[in-house]
Amino acid sequence: MSQLEIRNLHVSIEDKEILKGLTLTINQGEIHAIMGPNGTGKSTLAYTLMGHPNYTVTAGEVIFKGQSLLELEPDERSRTGIFLAFQYPVAIPGVTVANFLRSAINSRRRAANAEDKGMPIPEFRKMLKEKMDMLKMDHAFAGRYLNDGFSGGEKKRAEILQMATLKPEIAILDETDSGLDIDALRIVSEGVNALSGPELGVLVITHYQRLLNYIKPHHVHVMMGGRIVESGGPELALHLEEHGYDWIREKIEE
Task: Tell me the per-residue pLDDT of 89-132, one tens digit each, with 9 for 90 and over.
Answer: 899 999 999 999 999 999 888 888 888 888 999 999 999 999 99
- Cβ contact 83:170 at 8 Å: yes
> How many domains does the chain fold into?
1
User: What is the predicted pLDDT for the residue at 218?
Assistant: 95
Whole-model pTM over 0.75: yes
Percent of the chain residues past pLDDT 90, beyond the cut: 69
Averaged over 63-69, what is the pLDDT?
A: 94
Q: What is the mean pLDDT of the chain?
A: 92
Using DSSP bridges, classify how beta strands 82-85 and 67-68 pair: parallel, antiparallel or unpaired.
Answer: unpaired
pLDDT at 220 over 90: yes
- Cβ contact 172:69 at 8 Å: no
Percent of the chain residues past pLDDT 70, beyond the cut: 100
User: What is the predicted pLDDT for the residue at 199?
Assistant: 93
- Residues 146-205: pLDDT tens digits? 999 999 889 988 999 999 999 999 999 998 887 788 888 888 888 889 889 999 999 999
Averaged over 71-99, what is the pLDDT?
A: 93
Count Cβ atoms within 10 A of the Cβ of residue 83 and give its class: 0-12 exposed, 13-18 middle, 19 or more buried: buried
- Cβ contact 126:139 at 8 Å: no
Using DSSP bridges, classify how beta strands 92-96 and 56-64 pair: parallel, antiparallel or unpaired.
Answer: unpaired
Averaged over 245-252, what is the pLDDT?
A: 89
User: What is the predicted pLDDT for the residue at 64?
Assistant: 95
C-alpha–C-alpha distance, residues 219 and 155, integer Å: 27
- Cβ contact 69:21 at 8 Å: no
Rounded (5°) CA angle 176-180-184? 95
- Residues 52-61: pLDDT tens digits? 999 999 999 9
| Domain that includes residue 231, residue range | 3-253
The CATH number covering residue 235 comes to 3.40.50.300
pLDDT at 253 over 90: no
- Single-letter residue type at 78: S
C-alpha–C-alpha distance, residues 129 and 142, integer Å: 9
User: What is the predicted pLDDT for the residue at 87?
Assistant: 83
pLDDT at 254 over 80: no
Averaged over 43-59, what is the pLDDT?
A: 95
Contact partners, residue 81, CB within 8 Å, separation at least 6: 2, 64, 65, 168, 169, 170
Averaged over 215-226, what is the pLDDT?
A: 94
Helix ranges restricted to H, the chain: 42-50, 74-80, 97-112, 121-134, 152-166, 182-195, 209-212, 234-243, 246-253
User: What is the predicted pLDDT for the residue at 121?
Assistant: 95
